[in-house]
Copies of this chain bind each other. A is one copy, B any other.
Amino acid sequence: MDRERDDLTVTEMKFDSDGLVPAIVQQHDTGEILMLAYMNADSLQKTLETRRTWFWSRSRKKYWMKGEESGNVQEVFEVRYDCDADTLLVRVNQVGAGACHTGERTCFYRTLPLAPESADGAEMPLS
């Protein structure tokens, strides 16, 4: 088992070629997944320092704090990172109505249809 070091710093995270890592945002008490957005080293550092979620907008090329316009900020309880140090899990309390710009509580309000389970529990053949 190649368990990794437990004491990485922000700059030791494995940012991609654009300097970003995906950050999953989870409501800390219910486990609900609210959204996913991208952080660079500076926005991660700001998140740790301010206990509010800061992201880098890939489309607008700027920093943004969740809730800076709506007031629906995210109070940060914990920032976790994964075994590869290339993904963040930010556990928060979502203030206000919700996280999604559509007005939904979470961005993940839609589903894709699964194939029906076969009667005998057998898996579908793979192509």
| Residues of chain B lying within 8 A (CB to CB) of residue A123 | 50-52
- Assuming A102-B3, A103-B1, is B124 touching A108 (CB within 8 A)? no
Q: Which of A16-47 contact B (CB under 8 A)?
A: 22, 24, 26, 30-33, 35-36, 44, 46
CB distance from A50 to the nearest CB of B (A): 5
Q: Is the interface of A mostly helix, strand, loop or mixed?
A: loop
How many residues of chain A have a CB within 8 Å of chain B?
53
Q: Which residues of B sit under 8 angstroms from A52, Cβ to Cβ?
A: 123
For the complex of A and B, the 10 pairs showing the least CB-CB separation, nearest first, are A31-B31, A82-B107, A80-B108, A89-B108, A83-B107, A36-B87, A79-B112, A3-B102, A1-B103, A49-B115
